[in-house]
């Protein structure tokens, strides 16, 4: 016991010395660090925008990066008028709420939570900070009104997926297309349902093979597994593969490039972020304009027009769609008229895109059989 | 005796030298990304210890790590490596959550202990198969526990998303995405926070921290662990088997039975790991329930050298690093990855330093003993190292 006690005392002494050293060093530096934040007094206080990414953070070339693109655009546009900061939760994601709160405490005017995992945390923190505004991407909080300080930004991913599904259905040579999802959750099944519906709508013969990468959040950052599943699908005949798997999709694109098949990207226009040699193998991307939602929310908030409640981004609102760029122009040329026609039909309500398995089954029944 | 003190000092100093070393490496990383390391570390300290909520968050954050660290340590003491804490605590958390929402109308003093017992039962259940396979069939527990981790991830996903998912979350049709979670636990199963107790001492914690009585339970568990392992006949058997199973057997101890008990105990403690989060913070279990406590627990046990005090201090260190990471991310703009690097280097250097130091001390002691016996003195120090530790 004596040993343990001594160890404790010595440990504490050492800890104290260590902390003194660190704090001491810090003190010496103080005048220097004090200079940096010196604000120019004549400028009005900038509008402070904070953003907390979901696990995975920047660099997933997909969902989180799309949110970042919106932030970046606002930064370019408003320059000095806004000040931005973005944070990323720890691996297990258990500190989302603390990060939101830190930003709120730091007097950020508008704070985004990127992903539906933030739903409960934003619900909690927004009550503690009634004067701070929050943007919740993909999440739904019950009972929001225009006067609320939370704006839920929701997307009809199934509509965009329908369009890229149609593109796949039209372009496939083997009448087999693939879908690689990240984590098996209703959100991703929505992508899948829309995609299958789109493919079958334009091509009744088409077969869709679906796989999910995993059962944890890790599924959105596992390119190796994404690649494996894609190769497996290609072996079973698929020649166009759509992924909704965040950073795991990097593996999907690698696999189609190696096998000279086609991939469909998700969330951002992945033709633009892919490597040069991969671009010819990206047919298009399902755009989920998280960037647009983020930018728009910042823009109205700066102009003091922030409204709480729900904003839904569908095909009609240009919130989802398919990507065209200089790399895939030629590939899409022969089908772009058809896609535009389908788009118009979705906007007019002639096509009701299914959002889950049940609706998909009904949708398939309603399709003419031939 | 003076020599002895020198070695003790060295042994205690080694983790701190290692931490200092890791801090220096971390500083280099920060210099590379163009941040002032002094400012970063300073922010980390001030943010973590100057704010009451930070201190409470650190204490809250160390709670699960104490449980998982103890669970790993008790395995190590018996010479078993339980990598399955991760799966065991998820299953435990699930059973606890199940008992938490499915049983209604029980008074708190029955419901809460019942839920906690369910958690321990779940952990034990998931530890039973690997140890059964080891004792009866000779399957190495490292393999079986790792594999069962994966099984538990998928099983939990299935149970939460497909069987017991709470469908009453009030979603508008077609928009928004439900959280994939179980129904919320009943109010009678909630672990009370320590706020009102601490306010008696003039410590008024802000409402947004979730420091609860599981911390006290964890500390009691650490004390209990000490008495069990070092002060009971079973503890002696445990250490003997851990030290040398064959030797213990010739001394009349049945290693199989000791393995079984130790591993089930390890599983039961592991089952408590997730409960602090479940029963006081989230109130439900979702697919995104905090992961990784089990693996961090291994590092905690390693750094803590399987001792109760060491485990508590190591858990504190990890919780501090996590909270500090939030601070430097928010106020100095250091990306999360830097802190992850710092944590990694710290674990590595602590383990390496302590083993290097341990070897050095043993060598010195051997030399001394040799000198001592050559000079006709009794080798005092050998006994301390030679016996069952």
Task: For A31-72, give the DSSP string.
Answer: HHHHHTT---TTSPPPEEEEEEPPTT-TTSSSHHHHHHHHHH
User: B288 vs A217: CB contact, 8 Å cut-off?
Assistant: yes
CA gap B379, A63 in Å, rounded: 67
pLDDT in tens, A105-123: 999 999 999 988 898 899 9
Mean pLDDT of B69-81: 96
Which of B17, B27, B56, B179 best probes binding to A when mutated, by most A CB atoms within 10 angstroms? B179
pLDDT digits over B124-167, tens only? 999 999 999 999 999 999 999 999 999 999 999 999 988 888 87
Q: Is there a domain that residue B123 lies in?
A: yes
Write down the pTM of the prediction.
0.82
Q: What is the average pLDDT value for chain A, to the nearest integer? A: 85
pLDDT value of residue B336: 80
pLDDT at B226 over 70: yes
The answer to whether the Cβ–Cβ distance between A29 and B170 falls below 8 Å is: no
Question: For residues B48 and B55, is the Cβ–Cβ distance under 8 A?
Answer: yes
A284/A270 Cα distance (integer angstroms): 8
Among the partner-chain residues A57, A120, A128, the one whose CB lies closest to the CB of B179 is A120
- Does the pLDDT at position B170 exceed 50? yes
What number is the average pLDDT over the span A174-203?
92
Of A14, A92, A187, the CB nearest to B16: A14
| Residue A317 binned pLDDT confidence (cut-offs 50, 70, 90) | confident
Instruction: Return the C-alpha torsion angle A87, A88, A93, A99, nearest 10.
Output: -10
Distance from CA of A152 to the nearest CA of B (A): 8
A with B: how many residue pairs have Cβ under 8 Å apart? 145
Q: Which residues of B touch A90 (CB under 8 A)?
A: 322, 325, 336
Q: Where is mean pLDDT largest: A11-15, B10-14, B179-183, B317-321?
A: B317-321
Query: Given an 8 Å threshold on Cβ–Cβ distance, is B336 in contact with A88?
Result: yes
A17-39 pLDDT, tens digit each:
454 444 444 433 333 333 444 44
Rounded-to-10 torsion of CA B214, B215, B219, B222: 60
Question: Which domains, and CATH codes, for chain A?
Answer: 47-155+294-299 (3.40.50.2300), 157-287+334-366 (3.40.50.2300)
Would residue B98 count as lying in a domain? Answer: yes
What is the band of B374 on the pLDDT scale with cuts at 50, 70, 90? low
**Residue contact A140–B57, C-beta within 8 A:** no
Tell me the chain B residues in contact with residue A138 when contact means C-beta distances shorter than 8 Å: 176-177
The distance of B176 to chain A (nearest Cα, Å) reads: 5
Contacts B38 to A, Cβ<8 Å: 22, 25-26, 29
Q: Which domain holds residue B255?
A: 62-166+178-191+217-335
* E strands present in A116-273: 133-137, 150-155, 176-183, 207-214, 240-244, 262-267
CB contact under 8 A, B291 and A92: yes
Of the listed ranges A60-74, A221-235, A259-273, the least confidently predicted one is A60-74
pLDDT over 90 at B172, yes or no: no
The reply to whether residue A90 touches residue B325, judged by beta carbons under 8 angstroms, is: yes
Q: Does A8 touch chain B (CB under 8 A)?
A: yes
Q: Confirm whether B185 is domain-assigned.
A: yes
Distances in whole angstroms, Cα of residue B148 to Cα of each of A20, B136, B145, B272? 46, 18, 5, 18
| Residue in the block written with tokens 């406590």 | B293
- Residue written as tokens 């109205």? A300
The whole-number pLDDT of residue B386 equals 41
Q: Decide: A311 and A279 in contact? Cβ < 8 Å.
A: no
Whether B7 and B364 have beta carbons less than 8 Å apart is answered as yes
In the DSSP assignment, the letter for residue B171 is P
pLDDT of residue B81: 95
ipTM: 0.81
**Residue B44 lies inside a defined structural domain of this protein:** no
Work out the minimum CA distance from B248 to partner chain A, whole angstroms.
Answer: 25
Handedness of CA B283, B284, B288, B290 (dihedral sign): positive
- The pLDDT tens digits of the residues spanning A259-315 come to 999 999 998 888 988 889 999 999 999 999 999 999 999 999 999 999 998 988 999
What is the C-alpha to C-alpha distance for residues B313 and B315, in angstroms, rounded to an integer? 5
Query: For residue A32, what is the nearest residue in chain B, using CA coordinates?
Result: B39
Q: Tell whether B14 is covered by a domain.
A: no
Is B174 in contact with A14 (Cβ distance < 8 A)? no
Q: How far is A250 from chain B (nearest CA, A)?
A: 20
A39 Cβ contact partners less than 8 Å away, ≥ 6 residues apart: none
Structural domains in chain B (count): 1
Whether residue B381 has pLDDT greater than 50: no
Q: Compare all CA atoms of chain B with the CA of A136 and give the residue at the minimum distance.
A: B176
- State how far residue A15 is from chain B, nearest Cα, in angstroms: 8
**Which parts of A218-260 are beta strand (E)?**
240-244
Name the DSSP class of B183.
P
A90–B16 C-beta distance less than 8 A: no
Decide if A10 touches B, using CB distance below 8 A.
yes
Question: In this predicted structure, what is the pLDDT of residue B387?
Answer: 43
């Amino acid at each position: 016991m004596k040993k343990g006690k001594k160890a404790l005392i010595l440990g504490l002494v050492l800890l104290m010395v260590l902390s003194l050293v660190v704090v001491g060093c810090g003190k010496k530096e103080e005048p220097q660090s004090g200079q940096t934040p010196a604000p120019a007094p004549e400028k009005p206080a900038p509008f402070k925008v904070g953003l907390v990414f979901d696990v995975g953070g920047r660099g997933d070339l997909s969902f989180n990066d799309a949110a970042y693109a919106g932030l970046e655009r606002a930064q370019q546009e408003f320059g000095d008028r806004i000040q931005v900061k973005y944070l990323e939760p720890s691996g297990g994601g258990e500190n989302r709420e603390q990060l939101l709160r830190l930003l709120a405490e730091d007097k950020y005017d508008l704070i985004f939570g990127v992903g539906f995992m933030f739903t409960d945390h934003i619900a909690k923190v927004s009550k503690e900070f009634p004067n701070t505004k929050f943007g919740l991407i993909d999440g739904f909080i019950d009972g929001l009104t225009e006067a609320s300080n939370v704006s839920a930004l929701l997307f009809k991913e199934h509509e965009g997926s329908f369009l890229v599904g149609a593109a796949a259905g039209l372009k496939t040579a083997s009448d087999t297309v693939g879908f690689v999802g990240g984590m098996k959750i209703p959100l991703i099944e929505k992508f899948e349902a829309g995609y299958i519906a789109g493919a079958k709508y334009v091509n009744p013969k088409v077969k869709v093979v679906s796989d999910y990468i995993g059962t944890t959040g890790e599924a959105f950052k596992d390119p190796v597994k994404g690649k494996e599943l894609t190769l497996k699908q290609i072996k079973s005949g698929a020649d166009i593969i759509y992924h909704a798997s965040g950073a795991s999709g990097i593996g999907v694109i690698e696999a189609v490039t190696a096998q000279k098949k086609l991939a469909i990207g998700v969330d951002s226009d992945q033709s633009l972020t892919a490597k040069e040699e991969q671009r010819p193998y990206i047919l298009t991307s399902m755009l989920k304009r998280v960037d647009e939602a983020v930018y728009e929310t910042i823009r109205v908030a700066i102009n003091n027009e922030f409204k709480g409640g729900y904003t839904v981004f569908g095909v009609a609102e240009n919130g989802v769609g398919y990507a065209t760029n200089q790399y895939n122009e030629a590939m899409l040329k022969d089908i772009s008229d058809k896609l535009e026609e389908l788009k118009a039909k979705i906007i007019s309500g002639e096509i009701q895109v299914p959002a889950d398995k049940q609706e998909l089954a009904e949708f398939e029944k309603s399709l003419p059989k031939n | 005796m003076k020599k002895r003190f020198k070695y003790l000092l060295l042994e205690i100093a080694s983790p701190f030298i290692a931490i200092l070393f890791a801090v220096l490496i971390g500083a280099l990383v920060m210099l590379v990304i163009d941040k002032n390391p002094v400012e970063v570390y300073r922010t980390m300290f001030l943010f973590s210890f100057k704010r009451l909520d930070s201190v409470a968050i650190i204490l809250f954050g160390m709670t699960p790590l104490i449980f998982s660290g103890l669970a790993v340590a008790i395995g190590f003491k018996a010479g078993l490596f339980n990598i399955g804490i991760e799966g065991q605590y998820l299953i435990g958390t699930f059973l606890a959550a199940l008992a938490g929402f499915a049983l209604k109308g029980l008074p708190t003093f029955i419901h809460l202990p019942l839920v906690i017992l369910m958690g321990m039962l779940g952990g034990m259940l998931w530890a039973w198969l690997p140890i059964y396979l080891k004792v009866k069939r000779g399957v190495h527990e490292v393999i079986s526990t790792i594999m069962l981790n994966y099984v538990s991830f998928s099983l939990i996903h299935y149970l939460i998303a497909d069987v017991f998912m709470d469908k009453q979350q009030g979603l508008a049709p077609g928009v928004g995405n439900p959280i994939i979670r179980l129904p919320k636990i009943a109010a009678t199963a909630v672990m009370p926070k320590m706020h009102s107790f601490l306010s008696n001492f003039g410590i008024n914690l802000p409402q947004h921290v979730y420091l609860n009585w599981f911390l006290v339970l964890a500390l009691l568990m650490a004390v209990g662990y000490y008495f069990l392992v070092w002060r009971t006949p079973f503890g002696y058997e445990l250490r003997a088997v851990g030290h040398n199973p064959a030797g213990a057997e010739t001394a009349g101890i049945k290693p199989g039975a000791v393995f079984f008990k130790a591993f089930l105990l390890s599983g039961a403690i592991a089952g408590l790991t997730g409960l602090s989060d479940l029963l006081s913070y989230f109130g439900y279990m979702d697919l995104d329930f905090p992961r990784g406590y089990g693996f961090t627990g291994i590092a905690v046990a390693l750094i803590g050298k399987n001792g109760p005090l060491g485990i508590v201090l190591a858990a504190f260190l990890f919780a501090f690093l996590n909270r500090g990471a939030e601070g430097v991310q928010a106020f100095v703009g250091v990306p999360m990855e830097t802190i992850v690097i710092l944590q990694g280097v710290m674990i590595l250097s602590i383990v390496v330093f302590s083993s290097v130091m341990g070897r050095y001390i043993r060598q010195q002691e051997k030399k001394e003993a040799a000198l001592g016996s050559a000079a006709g003195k009794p080798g005092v120090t050998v006994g301390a190292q030679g016996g069952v530790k």
